[in-house]
Amino acid sequence: MKKSEIKFGVVVVITFAVIGAAVSLIFGRFIDFGSSKTIETSAQKTKPIGGTVSFSPPLLQDAPAEIKDAVMLGYNIMMNTQKYAAGYVGNKLNCTNCHFNGGITEGGRNGGLSLVGVAATYPRYRKGQNYSEDIVTRTNDCFERSMNGKPLPSYSKEMTAIVTYYQWISNGLPIYANIPWLGIEYIKSTHTPNPANGKQIFAQNCAVCHGNNGQGTQVVPPLWGNDSFNDGAGMDKLKDIAAFTLNNMPMTNPKLTDEDALDVAAFIINQPRPHFAAKKK
């Protein structure tokens, strides 16, 4: 290689080095090359999932005009399932028998099972089925089991109304937040349930509303027999019905002890009821 070529190469290298330094100096004022620091700062500004939430469901009448009819139909189905979803019900129960006031409550003591926020928690993994299910599937689970009926088509007017209702009363709650009023707190007790004692507790505290034979009335749901929930329903599980009974029964004046609730629950689920068999759409 000639000396002139070597000198030319050195000059080119030096020139590019000088230009690169200048560019770095100029744009370094605008670009933060410390990427790890930038990511850390951004993460600190992000609110954690499951932050504090408050119970403040919107009023049904405040629903936007384009969904108001669906919201109101959804509420009516909850309150009077026998009328508004008659073709899908196989007993004499209404959704509000468990979800008091159509589920617009904080649950807990004398509040039934709340539905406020449920739309923000699905799809959800269910251990019993070992998979995640959406809100439509979960709702149909209730129709097939608790209502001893058949599933609503996902595209039906009734199902669309129910889901729209869920979404409206859940409006404002963050997706997958920790919503403390959903679900039910199970009884923590080492007591062995005694159905025989539960029969006496039922006669003293429950029969006045549900009837001596548990068949219910026009306004009070039957607890066993052909017109009640079937053996696939959540309420046919001791831990579920015992916790529900403890928190909500007798109606307006829950007064049973943990042991009483477990005993009367054991008595109720030992009574005859329909057998669950999945029905075709």
Domain ranges for the chain: 60-183, 185-281
Helix (H, G, I), strand (E, B) or coil at 18: helix
Residue 279 confidence (pLDDT): 62
CATH superfamily of 185-281: Cytochrome c-like domain (1.10.760.10)
Smallest CA-to-CA distance from 143 within 98, 177, 183, 108 is with: 98
Residue 177 confidence (pLDDT): 92
Interacting residues of 56 by C-beta distance below 8 A, sequence separation 6+: 172
Q: How many CA atoms lie within 13 A of 138 on its CB side?
A: 18
Residue 51 confidence (pLDDT): 58
Cα(117)–Cα(181) distance, integer angstroms? 9
Interacting residues of 145 by C-beta distance below 8 A, sequence separation 6+: 229, 230, 232, 233, 234, 276
Can you give the C-alpha Rg of the chain in angstroms?
A: 30
Say yes or no: do domains 60-183 and 185-281 share a fold: yes
Among the residues of 182-237, which ranges form H helices? 195-205, 207-210
Q: How would you write the pLDDT of the chain (281 residues) with one tens digit per residue?
A: 544 444 444 444 444 444 444 434 333 433 333 333 333 333 333 344 545 799 999 999 999 999 999 999 999 999 999 999 999 999 999 999 999 999 999 999 999 999 999 999 999 988 777 889 999 999 999 999 999 999 999 999 999 999 999 999 999 999 999 999 999 999 999 999 999 999 999 999 999 999 999 999 988 999 999 999 999 999 999 999 999 999 999 998 999 999 999 999 999 999 999 999 876 55
60-183: which CATH number, 1.10.760.10, 1.10.1060.10, 3.30.70.980, 2.60.40.10?
A: 1.10.760.10
